[in-house]
Amino acid sequence: MPVPPTVRLANEIAAQFHHQSADRAAAAIAQHIRAFWEPRMREELLQHTTSTPEALDPLVVAAARLVS
């Protein structure tokens, strides 16, 4: 099954923040998503955090809690 574009993109963003502490990384990822993602993309990501969280980097799941 192919990975949805929002999941792939979110995971790629998270990979850039793995050198930071989890709390700091999640906050930075959430800030990036709020600043650059359109509402439709944010909503799709939030849906994935509940339907297929295993497809997401744990930092993305933590960041998604901060986005909403």
- The C-alpha atoms of residue 38 and residue 21 are separated, in whole angstroms, by 27
Low-confidence ranges of the chain (pLDDT < 70): none
- The C-alpha atoms of residue 10 and residue 66 are separated, in whole angstroms, by 14
34-68-63 Cα angle (round to 5)? 70
Give the chain's domain count: 1
Task: Supply the range of the domain harboring residue 35.
Answer: 5-67
**Model-level pTM?**
0.93
Say what the pLDDT of residue 2 is.
86
